[in-house]
Amino acid sequence: MNNVKKISAALTGKDAQAIFVTSDQNRYYATGFGSSAGELIICADGSAALFIDARYFEEASRSISEVEVICSNDKPVYELMNDYFKAHNVTKLAVEERWLSYAAYTSLQRKLEPEFTAGQDILRDLRAVKSPEEMEYLVAAQRIADRAFENTLKLITPDITERELAAELTCQMLKLGAQDKSFDPIVVSGSLSSVPHGKPRDVKLQRGFLTMDFGALYKGYCSDTTRTVAIGAPTKEMEKVYSTVLDAQVTAISAAKAGLTGKELDGVARKVIADAGYGEYFTHSLSHGVGIDIHEYPNCSPKSDNVLKAGDVISMEPGIYLPGKFGVRIEDVIEIKEDGCFDLTELPKELLVFCD
């Protein structure tokens, strides 16, 4: 993967002649090089350079194309960068202003000669619309997670703890080819299922709902899935809440397409839940972007004015959480298309019942 030319082209018409890529995620997006080391500069004139020390120089030189790899051992890296700026007539430099700490930002201002300007949104907007190669990685990550979940369901018994089940789910993803988990799995049961981001406990699965939120990381790209199952026979109220959440998700997925704002798509799901009498219990946004980061742009929430574009990849995760009783969340990941969407998630959604 290499997006240097795409980033360079995006600088056209911007108030900067180059962008300084400092976050690991954006450096990986730009070059496909997974090391946490290196200072990456991409210029509007098409040139690019990675300044990196001798420990990583050979690997970077072999791995990265369209980028000059410069060893920073013989001279202070910021002197090398200033020399590069002069050679490419860079007087204004876009930086990742929301990624850098205040201390790092002010330190860089003292060391680098160009004037700084905001550049975070340039990379944010490029990363939102996924390429065919990125979609391959995202689909592969999702398939790993799907199969891991199916395998883990077989392990649900009255004697397994939440923490043990979370560990088994992670182990299954690694066995199936994930390089890591996308995030620490949420595996919570009983009354704790009403906590959207509850942490697994050293307790055996409690009667009621069991919520499992999990994801696999594959070639640097994340999946994100939530399924809620019942431990013991569900009550009528549990069945109503589950069917409401499912209806909200299916309705929103059917409505998803390019041109909608995040607020509009969120409203589709939120209306279904509100009409069923549970509006106050849908306490988070419908959606977030998924890619190199598990949470990235764009979002779908009551405050999201961003317009969805073809190629955006977002979660779809309505939920209802009744404090002290139970909660339900169902989450798929979809790719936005011009006239609809593609659901990456293949897992069924009917309510499964265990241990009864």
Residues 6 or more apart from 353 whose CB is under 8 A from it? Answer: 229, 230, 232, 233, 234
C-alpha span between 343 and 132 (Å, rounded): 15
What pLDDT does 356 receive?
Answer: 64
Residues 6 or more apart from 182 whose CB is under 8 A from it? Answer: 141, 214, 215, 216, 217, 222, 223, 224, 294
In terms of pTM, does the model score above 0.85?
yes
How far, in whole angstroms, is CA 281 from its chain's centroid? 24
Domains assigned to the chain: 4-128 (3.40.350.10), 132-354 (3.90.230.10)
What is the percentage of the chain residues whose pLDDT exceeds 70? 100
Tens of pLDDT, residue by residue over 78-98, are: 999 999 999 999 999 999 999
* CA gyration radius, the chain: 23
Tens of pLDDT, residue by residue over 94-110, are: 999 999 999 999 999 99
Beta partners for 229?
Answer: 210
Enumerate the H helices of 193-285 as residue ranges: 236-255, 262-275
Tens of pLDDT, residue by residue over 243-282, are: 999 999 999 999 999 999 999 999 999 999 999 999 999 9
C-alpha span between 148 and 321 (Å, rounded): 26
C-alpha span between 132 and 155 (Å, rounded): 35
For the beta carbon of residue 304, count every other beta carbon within 10 angstroms.
Answer: 21
